[in-house]
Copies of this chain bind each other. A is one copy, B any other.
Amino acid sequence: MEKELDEVDIFLLKSLQADAKTTAKEFAAQLNMSVSPIYERIKRLEQKGYIKKYVAILDKTKLNRSITCICQVSMRQHSEAFIDNFEKEIRKIEEVQECFHMAGEVDFFLKINIGSLEDYHYFVRTKLSRIENISVLNTTFVLKDIKNGTEISF
């Protein structure tokens, strides 16, 4: 694998994951380059898959989803079919923002966004607990978002 990214590419990636609205013109000024190489580098980074997509980050509180909680789920049986089914069902549940299949005692970690404790009750009763083969469900609530980013450091 050859070296694919130079310092300029890395600068662009880091900048864009902080603020995707930065224009090629602004980058050109910051880097003392002209606009076209910036433009072509960004296009290349998109095409090669370094940049997956551009998204708007919304305000949870304003949208009445200010409560976050972490659910730790373990399964009764660990057959392939049950795990696949769990994944499929989880993907359908809108309250689930993140879900990871874990190594170790707990099988899945879920990050849930909801507006109230009543919503949580509704979520567990009508959605989560309807998935087959769940044995343990352990939920803890977030008191404070200390760091909640989309940026990856590299």
Contact = CB atoms under 8 A, between A and B. Distances in A.
Contact of A57 (B17, B98, B102, B148): B17
Contact of A147 (B18, B98, B143): B98
A81 interface: no
A58 interface: yes
A61 to B, nearest CB: 9
Contacts of A109: 70, 140, 142
Interface stretch (A28-36, A88-96, A128-136): A88-96
Nearest to A53: B57
A13 B98 contact: no
Contact of A49 (B17, B62, B144, B152): B62
A59 interface: yes
Contacts of A149: 97-98
Chain copies in complex: 2
Given A109-B70, A148-B98, A20 B153 contact: no
A73 to B, nearest CB: 11
Interface string A1-42: 000000000000100111111000000000000000000000
Contacts of A21: 54
